[in-house]
Amino acid sequence: MEASSSCPVSASEIVFFDLETTVPNKAGQRFWVLEFGAIIVCPRKLVELDSYSTLVRPTDLSAVALKSGRCDGITREAVANAPAFGEVADKIFSILNGRIWAGHNIRRFDCVRIKEAFAEIGRPAPMPVGMIDSLGVLTEKFGRRAGNMKMATLASYFGLGQQKHRSLEDVRMNLEVLKHCATVLFLESSLPSVMSGKWHSPSTMVTRSRSNGKLLCREENSRKSPPTTLGYQRAVPYTRGSLGKMTEGVKNLLCKAQETKSLNNILKHSHSLFR
């Protein structure tokens, strides 16, 4: 695969990968790789540059369950005609070697399984130039607000659907979870007072009024809960004692307006009212 101009060398690319394996149920049993899936991502744009997935037939086929307990799980029949790991080792090596590795809990699980699989066929395992384990990163940076930090729990937290437990689908879900977490962390760092809840209640609004040509900002509650403090009382162009006089003036103005029905006369009388 040729690198794009935005990612000139493979070392700048990130490969998200995931393994599906058998699950030992007895002491002494080993893990067998059943599926490998990976996507290569440019870190500058987070766009997918390439992808690859393959089922893998284990040496001990009896270690694979006849019927999977998961709706999209891998069964013995599914891998019976799949290539052995040795047949796809070159492709897996070319994808992983010399790139930044990324995945969920890969440091403790997937990396170990990759080394075991290559050791079994007598070949050196691929080596990363860096590693991003989203389990450790998100636990440290995002915290356990989503729950137990399993991929299924994180995906549910962000409404990304149900985890398929298939390598390529899980890898893409991992990338989406990281994007969502990064967005939340960015918002929290950019708007700490808002995201932490230390801001005005929804019933509070900020309004602007003009005074001598300058904009003045003030806060006032919603219309259903008018301000009660003296600091928020608005000045009016008349005194309480002049209300009766003003009311009488309004009556006279309306009478004259009805008689003349002239806009100019209405304006003329309205000017005299507020002198």
Residues annotated as catalytic (active site), given as ranges: 165
Q: How far is CA 152 from CA 50, 109, 138, 139, 149, in A?
A: 24, 17, 14, 15, 8
Side chain identity at residue 124, one-letter code: P
Contact 41, 53 (CB under 8 A): no
The phi and psi torsions of 130 (rounded to 5 degrees) equal -175, 165
Closest CA to 99 of 134, 125, 128: 128
Q: What is the dihedral of CA 201, 202, 204, 207, to 10 degrees?
A: 140
Picking from 16, 18, 17, 19, the residue whose alpha carbon sits closest to that of residue 47 is 16
Token digits of residue 8? 């000139």
